[in-house]
Structure 1
Amino acid sequence: MAKWWMKAVVQKAISFLPQRERVNFWFQRYVTRGVDLTDEHFGYKLDAARDHLAYYRKYGAAPPAQATALELGTGWYPIVPTLLFLAGFSRIVSLDIRNWLSRDRQHLALTRILDYHDRGLLADYLERVEPGRLAVLRQIVASPDRLTVAEVNDRLHLEARIMDATRLDFPDDSFDLICSNNTFEHIYPDVLRNILREFRRVVKPDGVMSHFIDLSDHFAHLDPDITIYNFLQFSRENWALVDNDIQPQNRLRWPDYRRMYAELDIPVREEAVRPGDLSALATVNVHPDIGNYSPEQLAISHGYLVS
């Protein structure tokens, strides 16, 4: 059985279990190693923070010391929020459907960030580091066993919230920056529309939204024998049999996201896409259910939508 099929079968089975998130965490930690803070994962998070900050500097109004940020998808490691903290943001809120943070993972993330700074590598991702904020990081890392997760978050000006993003409890016009990284592709369209409606409500009139979307088949991250377009061959019904509630993939293409923004009257200031691989796309018999798009539109593998 192909690697991707094995993972699909296991995750599908896990999705029916009680405490499925705990079981999936064990599976990812000890089998697929998806929880590990690899160099690749760390680099991708640094890239995302750099890009969000660059878009904010380009379009945002408030200086970082007066700015507030909302991140969708906290994940295992608070890397993006920590870089926002180092950049000077006054308040950072990060939302997720579960609490994935732990003291060990916090410590590992902050240690890696400090190591990058001390080796002169962080300058490629962060234009300026607030010296006082850097000192806070050093204090946290120096005493990992004496601080709880909540205490570390408090020192980072980070509010890690478990919240339904379709029903935010923040007032209108609350945030200067709203961002996400590899999150939209895991949210089904109807839910994503409601999340975007809430984002439109809570972002300030002169605020910025920056969302990085991965349009590739995530099973290809594990299995090199399939292309990143493998999931486009399935009908809606057949994909529903393969897809799972643990790591769902909506299979939306770039024009679908653009159309959703247009329907919600969210203006796009800028978009930056990776064109993908037309030759790899040509090996897949794309199902009509995906939509009537050009090969170039179908092939887009990743992109930023900035509004």
Structure 2
Amino acid sequence: MSLKLTFKSFFFRFLEILPNKQGEQVYHKVQELFSKENLDFKIRSSHNTFRTFQDITREQGIEIKDRVVIEIGSGWLPLMPYFFRYMGKAEKVETFDLNRHYQRENIEKLNEAFSGEYEVEINKVKESAYSLPEAIKYYPNSNILDQKLTNCDLVFSRFVLEHLRPETIKSMHLKFKKELKPGAHIVHLISPGDHRAYLDKELSLQDFLKYSRREWQKKQTRFDYHNRLRLPEYLEIFNNLDLKIVHLTYEVPDRNSEYYRKFEALNLHPDFTDFTDEELMAGAINIILKV
């Protein structure tokens, strides 16, 4: 295990023993201090994500112009809401997060950088605690399961589903099926690989598949939870709820790649041996569901 990964694991274990509120506060502060990604990089990265969103939705004739979009998982900045509003011309974007990460100072920097880069005018609501424009609503400390969604045309998530418990994913999509208007769409971008491999380059992106459920649970905390669901398991959840899958793409590495070599060296736990290599390694999953 790399030094970076060792430190991160130790740090999360330390946060886990703190009272919830203090643990969240420390986590928030450290994330701010040690984030290496500058604002320009974050904007460019989110622009690439928006292009992916445009590519896969256009194939299905899905438009967000003058529509209401809900984002699950706000993160630290309203990056995708800005692209939905100013590039996609959405009427309104509502973004929900279990935590409160937005800070006025950071969003004011984003407003300046975004308006300069894309030549758009961002009219902030004067009384907004976060310097957000009127068309973007932020709901921190909010569970999407507790919200009313009847006015929503499209639900979007980016790298969120892999951090939710399977039962939560099921409950969420059952709610979507019951409350969203007929014809509404749900777009998920899912990163199902072992995120520890981003810190330790020696690890396979499927490394966590060698552990039993109990062993894996001992290795993670609420701050780095990953459900380890494989592609067929996501699809089974959606199919069991009779949600129509109108788009599905994913990446699988070349058999001659270093990525594949690392995977082949793994001793998979019996829980995962009934899956094909493609099902186990499917990454960068992009899926669109229709209600």
Per-residue deviation, residues 155-188 of structure 1 (Å, max 9, x unmatched): 24111113212232333xx211110000000001
Q: Are positions 1:192 and 2:192 aligned together?
A: no
- Which residue is 1:116 aligned to? 117
Q: Are positions 1:164 and 2:143 aligned together?
A: yes
Distance 1:189 1:47, change over 3 A: same
Which residues of structure 2 form unaligned runs of 5+? 254-258
Q: Are positions 1:279 and 2:261 aligned together?
A: yes
- Which residue is 2:240 aligned to? 263
- Which residue is 1:176 aligned to? 153
- Which residue is 2:7 aligned to? 6
Q: Are positions 1:232 and 2:232 aligned together?
A: no
How do residues 136-175 of structure 1 correspond to structure 2 at under 5 angstroms? 137=122, 140=124, 149-150=128-129, 152-153=131-132, 155-162=133-140, 163-171=142-150, 174-175=151-152
Distance 1:205 1:62, change over 3 A: farther
1:252 partner letter = L
Per-residue deviation, residues 89-109 of structure 1 (Å, max 9, x unmatched): 112111100111111221233
- Which residue is 1:26 aligned to? 29
What is the Cα deviation at residue 151 of structure 1? 6.1
How do residues 190-229 of structure 1 correspond to structure 2 at under 5 angstroms? 190-229=167-206
2:262 partner letter = A
Q: Are positions 1:296 and 2:278 aligned together?
A: yes
What is the Cα deviation at residue 243 of structure 1? 1.0
- Which residue is 2:92 aligned to? 91
Which SS does the other structure have where 1:170 is aligned? coil
Distance 1:7 1:205, change over 3 A: same
Moved more, 9-18 or 181-190: 9-18
Which residues of structure 1 form unaligned runs of 5+? 119-133, 141-145
TM-score of the superposed pair, with normalisation by structure 1: 0.82
What is the Cα deviation at residue 54 of structure 1? 3.9
What is the Cα deviation at residue 291 of structure 1? 5.2
State the distance in 1 between where 2:231 and 2:271 align: 15
TM-score of the superposed pair, with normalisation by structure 2: 0.86
What is the Cα deviation at residue 147 of structure 1? 5.0
Distance 1:219 1:181, change over 3 A: same
- Which residue is 1:306 aligned to? 288
Q: Are positions 1:64 and 2:65 aligned together?
A: yes
State the distance in 1 between where 2:61 and 2:175 align: 19
Distance 1:98 1:305, change over 3 A: same
1:78 partner letter = P
Is contact 1:56-1:177 (8 Å) kept?
A: no
Per-residue deviation, residues 105-143 of structure 1 (Å, max 9, x unmatched): 21233333334325xxxxxxxxxxxxxxx22x2x55xxx
What is the Cα deviation at residue 39 of structure 1? 5.3
What is the Cα deviation at residue 24 of structure 1? 1.0
Per-residue deviation, residues 29-72 of structure 1 (Å, max 9, x unmatched): 334x26x446554333222222334444443566612x110100
Which SS does the other structure have where 1:75 is aligned? coil
- CA RMSD after TM alignment: 2.3
State the distance in 1 between where 2:48 and 2:181 align: 25
2:146 partner letter = R
Distance 1:148 1:243, change over 3 A: farther
Distance 1:203 1:58, change over 3 A: farther
- Which residue is 1:126 aligned to? none
Count of residue pairs brought into register by the alignment:
279
Percentage identity across paired residues of the two chains: 20
Structure ranking higher in helix proportion: 1
State the distance in 2 between where 1:201 and 1:68 align: 18
Moved more, 288-297 or 256-265: 288-297
